[in-house]
Structures are given as C-alpha cells and as structure tokens.
Homo-oligomer: A and B are copies of this chain.
C-alpha cells in the first residue's frame, strides 16, 4: 500500500482549473494555486487552467510560480452564478467550466476544481465524466466538524440525489469509507446511517432493510458499521462517516452552518455589551484566533462529487485564495490516493452483499 502511494506521488499530477468560476475569480483562483504550490514545493504538479486569455495573463504575471507550473487554455465564455442547469447544459461548450471538466474526460487531467455555479458543475460533471461502473449514483461529499479539536466526519450525499434506494445508500457507504480512509486518514472508520433514532425499528423501510443487511455482514465490511446515528451524534464525534440521502444531508449541512453562525453572533453581541470584556479582549486575541481557526469553514469546506470517472471538486462561490488552495488539496489528495481504484476494488469485494438488496 505504501509503495503504491509512493509510486503515485512520483508521477506528475495534472489538475484542471476553472479560472472564471466564483465571485472573486480569477484573483482567488491564482492566489489559491500560488498558495498550494508554495505549500507543496516538492510535489510534481501541473495545472491546466481554463479561462479568459487576457485576464489569465494579467494574473499569471503576478505569480511567477504559477506561470512555471501551468498551461493556460483560452475559454471564450463563462458560466454565471445565476445560470440555470436546464438552460446551459447543451450550450456551454465554450465556457471555462465545461472545457475544464472535458479536459478530465479526455484524460488530460485527473481532477477539476471550480468555485463556480454548483448545480451546473454537478450536472456537467455527471454528463461528461459519467458514473463509475458498479456505482448507482454519484454523491456530493464533504467534511463536517465532529467531536472537537480538528476532528471531522465525512458526510454524503449532500444534495445530488433527493430520494435514495438501498443500493444507492450502500454505494454511498462504500465511497464514504474509501474517502475517509484515503483522504481523511481514518483507518476503518466508524460508519452510521442517519436516522431519527437508534432502534432498528426507526425510519423508513429503505433504512431498516439496509441496516439489517449491513448488520448481518458486519465482519465482511471494510468499515466498522455502528448502525443508526442521530443528528447530534455527528458533532459529538460518535461517527466518522455519515450516510444519508441528498435531501437530509443538504438540510443537515446548512443547519450546522447556520447554527455556528448564530452562536458566533450571540458571542460577539454579548462580548460587545460588557465593558470588562472589551477591556480585556486584547489579552484574549490569541484565544479568539484559535477558536476562529478551528471553526473556519475555509479549512474544510469544499464539496467533492464522488462516483464519477474523474474527480470534480467544488468550493464556495465566495472562496478566497485559502479556500481555493484547500479545494486543490482535495483534488490532489484524491489523485495521490488513486481513489477510484480503491472504489473499483471495493465494488468487486462487496458485490455479493450488495446483490442481496
């Protein structure tokens, strides 16, 4: 296993970049590439960057390091944040996003990173890259804060599929586990199905049926199956891979974000009202900085579209250089880990269990 990773690391990594997606593009995109290169001086990486030639050249001049590690390909158009999937799916061939994804399909690069329109990125990725063999549907995946410190849990799906049958959730578990132990460095993670109670009679028939099967084959699974988990088990750190349908996952993710923001606001408001707190706040600067770093969504945000023949990474529309750099890290990690090869192996290994569904 180690030698395999080493071998991969020795090959040149080629990542495709949508230079025009996101509110702060292309500035944040170039800043992000530059930051990634600075942090990984010994990595043999190359970017294939798609966007407006003129703008790209202006920014490339400011970042000689990027200039040295990138090829720039002119894309005359771009996808806007307000574009509707149905309207642009067949007419977007000349956009930077389409061309960057198509570069992965053509085999020129292993992964695509974009801060552009989520819906369009997901739809184009699915259309161009196609679903992996043995996987029923691709899923949007991300890390969420779990259990304090730097601990994170992998959660999927976050919105690609509203309704999911047993086979689809089985595949999400398979992919979530591979993601956790390759990119997330969690060997044999604790994996649970999100439900509204821990008893096996809870939830709908799909969940009950899958739970029964996974329990029956517990010893053959590559992850530690812990059964049903509840919404509060995620942040308590009881579970490392949370499997759910896209409807529920999307709502949970947004609820976590919203609650974190609200508490931050309550803290700031309360501190502002205390004269003593203001007086001593300069002493506490480093404490607040540490808390901020731990809760900073830029350090873990970024959603990955798993289950396609190529890696598609999305970062927030308002990503700055740091956030974009982290998104490149996900693309790089998936490539290093040869993620899709592990998926193919597990698909074979678990086929005899899956076919019982």
Query: Which A residues are closer than 8 A to B by beta carbons?
Result: 145-149, 159, 162-163, 194, 196, 203-204, 230-236, 246-248, 250-263, 265-267, 269-271, 273-274, 276-277, 280, 283-284, 286-287, 290-291, 294-295
Contact = CB atoms under 8 A, between A and B. Distances in A.
A273 B149 CA distance: 12
Given A231-B252, A255-B252, A258-B231, A287 B295 contact: no
- Most chain B beta-carbon neighbours within 10 Å: one of A231, A250, A271, A283: A231
A255 B276 contact: no
A163 B148 CA distance: 34
Contacts of A146: 262
Contact of A255 (B159, B162, B231, B265): B231
Contact of A247 (B148, B196, B255, B258): B196
A105 to B, nearest CB: 27
Given A231-B250, A280-B284, 12 more contacts: A147-B262, A159-B196, A196-B254, A203-B247, A231-B253, A231-B256, A234-B255, A234-B258, A270-B294, A274-B290, A276-B286, A277-B284
A336 to B, nearest CB: 30
Decide if the interface of chain A is mainly helix, strand, loop or mixed. helix
A286 B263 contact: no
A262 B204 contact: no
B235 A259 contact: yes
Given A162-B204, A259-B260, A269 B148 contact: yes
A294 B266 contact: yes
A270 B253 contact: no
B231 A257 contact: yes
Contacts of A283: 276-277, 280
Contact of A258 (B235, B254, B263): B235
Contacts of A295: 263, 266
A260 B263 contact: yes
Contacts of A232: 254-255, 257-258, 261
Contact of A196 (B250, B256, B273): B250
B251 A235 contact: no
Contacts of A291: 266-267, 270
A194 B248 CA distance: 11
A254 B266 contact: no
A162 B252 contact: no
A276 B147 CA distance: 25
Contact of A270 (B247, B260, B265, B290): B290
Contacts of A265: 148
B250 A247 contact: no
Contacts of A163: 204
Contacts of A259: 145, 235, 255-256, 259-260, 263
A75 to B, nearest CB: 27
A165 to B, nearest CB: 15
A287 B277 contact: yes
B254 A230 contact: yes
B286 A148 contact: no
Contacts of A270: 287, 290-291, 294
A287 B182 CA distance: 43
